[in-house]
C-alpha cells in the first residue's frame, strides 16, 4: 500500500520467493554445491568433519541422489573433554521445498552451557536414521575411551532401540520437559504437575519417594 498498489497475499509471497532466488540462488543449486561447501567447512574449521551421503552410500543399488548430510565442528569437539558425560539428542522437522528431519546431539558443560556436537539431515526420524546418526557420533565425536555416558532424549521409538543397539552400556534418561508435556495433556492438574517437577528436581531419594507417594495418593494412574 506504500506505493498505492494493492496486491493479494500469494502474489506478494511468490514475488518474495523470486527475489530470494535471484539473490541467493534456488534450492536445487544449493544442493549441487554441498560437496564444495563441505570441503570449505573442513578447510576453514580445523578438526571439523562434514560428509554428504548419497543413496548408494547407504544401501545396495542406490543412486547418486542426495540422501543424508552429517557434520560436526572441530572447536566443539575439542571442548568435549571438558563437558559432562551426557549427550542430549532430539530431532526437528525441516520446512521448505524439500522436507526432512534435522537431528542434533548436544553436550553440556559445568555451567549448563550447551555445545552442539553433531548435526544430521535425514529423510525421516526412525530407527534406521537414528542408528546411522549414533554410529557417526561414536566414530567422529566421542573420545575412544568414552564407553559409558548418559543419553537424554524424548520417547521417540526409533531412538530408544537405536541407543540399545549402538550404546548398550549407556544409561538412557528422558527429557523432563517432554514428560511434563505428556503428563499435562493427560491429567490437566496443576498440583500434580507441581509434585511431578518437585520429584524430578530433588536430589534426595527420601524426598523423591515422599513426593511420589503424594502423587499416588492423589491419582494412582499419574503415579
**CA gap 219, 19 in Å, rounded:** 57
Cell numbers given for 51: 560428509
Q: How confident is the model at residue 1 (pLDDT cuts 50, 70, 90)?
A: low
Q: Which residue has the higher pLDDT, 49 or 77?
A: 49
Alpha helix segments (H runs only) across 112-175: 127-140, 157-166
Give 98's contacts (C-beta < 8 A, 6+ positions apart).
27, 31
Cα–Cα distance list, 144 to 1, 114, 139, 148, 166 (Å): 62, 22, 8, 11, 14
- The tens digit of pLDDT for each residue in 12-46 reads 888 888 898 888 888 888 888 889 999 999 999 99
Question: What's the average model confidence in pLDDT over 126-136?
Answer: 94
Instruction: Please tell me the distance from the alpha carbon of residue 103 to that of residue 217, in angstroms, as a whole number.
Output: 40
Q: Are 222 and 187 in contact (CB under 8 A)?
A: yes
Q: What is the mean pLDDT of residues 45-50?
A: 92
Lowest mean pLDDT segment, chosen from 91-95, 136-140, 154-158, 212-216: 154-158
What does the pLDDT read at residue 156?
A: 80
- Name which residue leads in pLDDT, 148 or 192: 192
Amino acid at each position: 500500500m506504500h506505493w498505492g498498489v494493492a496486491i493479494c497475499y500469494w502474489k506478494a509471497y511468490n514475488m518474495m520467493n523470486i527475489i530470494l532466488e535471484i539473490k541467493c540462488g534456488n534450492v536445487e543449486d544449493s544442493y549441487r554445491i554441498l560437496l564444495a561447501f563441505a570441503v570449505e567447512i573442513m578447510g576453514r574449521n580445523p578438526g571439523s568433519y562434514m560428509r554428504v551421503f548419497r543413496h548408494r552410500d547407504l544401501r545396495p543399488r542406490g543412486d547418486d541422489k542426495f540422501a543424508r548430510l552429517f557434520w560436526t565442528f572441530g572447536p566443539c569437539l575439542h571442548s568435549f573433554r571438558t563437558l559432562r558425560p551426557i549427550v542430549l539428542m532430539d530431532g526437528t522437522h525441516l520446512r521448505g521445498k524439500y522436507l526432512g528431519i534435522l537431528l542434533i546431539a548436544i553436550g553440556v558443560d559445568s555451567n549448563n552451557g550447551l555445545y552442539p556436537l553433531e548435526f544430521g539431515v535425514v529423510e525421516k526420524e526412525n530407527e534406521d536414521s537414528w542408528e546411522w546418526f549414533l554410529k557417526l557420533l561414536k566414530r567422529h565425536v566421542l573420545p575412544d575411551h568414552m564407553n559409558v555416558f548418559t543419553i537424554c532424549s524424548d520417547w521417540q521409538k526409533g531412538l530408544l532401540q537405536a541407543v540399545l543397539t549402538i550404546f548398550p552400556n549407556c544409561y538412557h534418561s528422558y527429557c523432563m520437559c517432554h514428560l511434563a508435556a505428556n503428563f499435562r495433556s493427560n491429567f490437566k492438574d496443576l498440583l500434580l504437575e507441581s509434585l511431578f517437577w518437585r520429584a524430578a528436581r530433588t536430589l534426595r531419594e527420601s524426598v523423591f519417594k515422599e513426593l511420589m507417594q503424594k502423587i499416588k495418593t492423589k491419582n494412582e494412574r499419574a503415579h
